[in-house]
Structure formats: C-alpha cells, structure tokens
Amino acid sequence: MIANRRCTETCPADTGLARWEFNTDFTSGSSAFSKWNTTSGTVDSTSLGAKFTISEQGDAPTIESDFYIFFGRVEVKMRAANGTGIISTTVMESDDLDEIDWEQISTYDSSIETDYFGKGNTTSYDRATTVDVTTPEETFHTYTVDWTSSRIEWILDGEVVRTLEYADALSGKNYPQTPMRIKIGIWAGGDPDNSEGTIEWAGGETDYTAGPFSMYVESVKVINYNPASAYKYTDKTGAYTSIKATNGTTSTNLASSSSSVKAASASSSSSAKSSVSSSASASASASATVSAAGSISPYSAFVTFIVAFIAAAFKL
C-alpha cells in the first residue's frame, strides 16, 4: 500500500533551477533569503547564519527553496539545536512525496539520522540509519546529499557515511526519483501532543520552559545535475524516466547518469571565478553559470550549449 501519494492523478510542472549551481551564504544578511520561502514561523538573519528557534509549543520555523532540482548535490552547513525531543532537519522532498533526510535528534547529541521515502510510502519505518557525529549542537558540520538516478550518498564533513542503491529500495519502487525542493527547519518531535511513538523516537517529551532552542544554518550549496526552467510529469508512474525538463522553448526527457554528474562537476569547477549568489537573479532561459552581477561569460555559455546539445542528442 502506498500512503499519502500526491501524484496519483497528476502533478503540476515544477519550477526548476536553470543553473548548474546555486549558493546561499546566510551570514551575508537578509538578502540571502531571496530564493527561499518561509513556510512556518520566523527565521532570523544573524552573523552565524539563518536562526531557527523554538520558543513555545507550536513553533516549527521552516524555509524551502523556491525551485526544484532533478538529481543533484545539496550541501548544508548547520549547527543543530539542543533540547529534549528537538529535531533539526534538512529535507529534500518532491510533489510525489519522494524524500531524502538528515535529522538530528537533540536528545542523542552524538549522532544524526539519515532516512528516505519513496512516493509517500510510510508502511514501514525501517529505512533510517544512525551516523556518529561529534558535538552537532555545538559545532557546525556539513551535511551533504549526492543524488543520482542510480544511487544516493549521504556525506558528513566530506566523508560518505551511507549509500543507497536504486535496486535496494524495493527494486526502485521506493527510490526517490522525482524533482525535489529543499526544506530546512526545526520542530519538536517530543511535543506532548504528538503520538507516543513519535515522542519515543524523539527521545522523550520536550520541556518548553528549558528553551528557547535554536538551530543555525550558515550556508547551502546546490548543484543541479539537470538544469531546467521547469520539470513536467508526463504520466502517473512517478518514475524519473517520465520527467520532462523544459529549457526555454525546448523540452527533453532527462535521466541522471555518470556523464551528467561529470558535466555538473566540470561546470561547478569552471564557475568558481563567478559563483552564483542567492541574490543573483535567476536566468530562466539557460543553465549557463551566472555571476553575482548577472552577466554570462561567453566561455560558460559555449560550454553550456555543448553540454545541452550532447544531453539532447543522447536524451540524458
């Protein structure tokens, strides 16, 4: 049984990230939030980065990207919150309820949990694994997900700590494979109104009088392996092969492969001299590297054209 799946009928096209790379430095001020929507509570801009705080019952400050990626790499530098039952999260989620998670449960202050879901299937909760991490509530660590059509890697401070192969996720049926946006937030798993099972998972009831509890996110770095202005579901399967990517006036069916990952890595390297900041305006017509001033270098445009041509020819 598949629970809660949203795209049993149809899903609208998702707004894509039309660049290989997008970086956000939350220590740079409120302008860093320009590509992020606050969906719950209040998130403050501080010298340490974006500050997510639970002060009382019901607080669950959360932001989400205003774009989706279709296979890629997401790197979040974060300091988790303290407090019994407080959960600091970095989540990638699709409209079809595919999901990839990092979850730090503050009750257990020397570990972090990795998890995933496919098409909202919550018939079992046996997919999570726990990874050791040193003082996550006192120290900033970098939590990365590298996601392709064949495997997912969870990477902690540059070291791969878990790999999920496509075939190992119920022969692909539970494998996250549809366009996702990025959600970052904090919530009280130990809230007394939650189910007994959730409170137990969170390590006990949250005592709000011991708060406030704050999580800080210094930066987010995103590489999109299939840059596009939009991603369209062409059927109801929820398979990555059914997703059509639109770039300006052209469309193509895309699937992540080793070549697209290499192309993204090469583009990321060449863009080091003109990194994309969160305050730069998005270019909907190309996946060329855009500088903070909004200019497109001729070299980057040429490389982008060649990559796009090859991708279309081989339907990557």
DSSP 281: P
Nearest-angstrom CA–CA distance, 196 and 202: 10
Q: Is residue 196 flagged as an active site residue?
A: no
Nearest-angstrom CA–CA distance, 298 and 230: 24
Q: Is residue 205 flagged as an active site residue?
A: no
Q: How buried is residue 274: exposed, middle or buried, by Cβ count under 10 Å (0-12/13-18/19+)?
A: middle
**Is residue 82 helix, strand or coil?**
coil
Sign of CA dihedral 132, 137, 140, 144: positive
Q: How many CB atoms are closer than 10 A to CB 212?
A: 12
Nearest-angstrom CA–CA distance, 1 and 47: 47
Active-site residue (options: 21, 93, 99, 137): 99
Nearest-angstrom CA–CA distance, 226 and 224: 5
Nearest-angstrom CA–CA distance, 5 and 173: 13
Active-site residue (options: 75, 103, 113, 137): 103
Q: Which residues belong to the active site? A: 99, 103
